[in-house]
Amino acid sequence: HHFTTDDSARVIIFLLSGVAAGMVAKQIRDGVSSSLKEAERRHKVENLFGQQISAEVAEKILESNGEIETRRMKVAVMFIDIRNFTNFAAESSPEEVVKYQNAFFGIVINAVTKHEGVVHQFLGDGCMITFGAPVSLDNPSERAVNTAYEILRQLERAGMEGTIKPTRIGIGIHTGEAVTGNIGTSVRQQYSVTGTVVITAARIEQLNKKYESVLLVSEDVVRNIDGHPAAKHLGEQQLKGLPGSLSVYKLV
């Protein structure tokens, strides 16, 4: 059998396809390996935070090797409360309540994620959100206020479209220094933000009932957003359980 041009072409094709197959196999191996590495990194962050943070924030934490040391950080804290939730829950089936909560918190999470905030606790009828920790942000107050407006816009739209029952909420925002870090044991850890700034934000939110308002913020917040055309000064407020008084502004 003479070795023809056809034969040599076959050999070359055979060799090339062998090389190609090898390259493809290597690419697949590399791809799988990097996917596994990525999954491992994600898993590490999920262990640290549960599902408290967005992918973007997780990415920033991974850049610092997931080191979450306890430290002081400048943060904006926001509390959101759903009005008349207790009555609604009492009159509805558990399935209806869960469906409503999913729709409501879906809106909140989308808005918070967009502005790089962290949702800390779902409290059934509301939640606590922070901006500026674990990753510091240039202007946490501005992010918090923009998020609040976005949540109100989306809630109104969802109400008009009928994807959520008409909902009234109260929002309170305060800015200050907080202590941040992971608390708990190696088995169950939670990232937490604590300090007077947190209690103050919660108390500001509660003032909404007194003023029949929707969005109240402290003077520190207003200062950080270069004043605000809609800001109406409500004067000095005594906040339950806190010494002294605080200047509060109504935005909505």
Identify the H or E element spanning 11.
helix 5-49
pLDDT at 125 over 80: yes
> What is the mean predicted confidence (pLDDT) over 121-133?
85
pLDDT tens readout for residues 129-167: 999 987 788 999 999 999 999 999 999 999 999 889 888
- 195 pLDDT tier (thresholds 50, 70, 90): confident
pTM: 0.76
Report residue 179 as tokens: 């202590």
Placement of tokens 């922070």 in the chain: 130
The contacts of residue 249 (CB under 8 Å, 6+ apart) are 216, 217, 218, 219, 221, 222, 228, 231, 232, 233, 234
- Cα separation, 5 vs 18, whole angstroms: 20
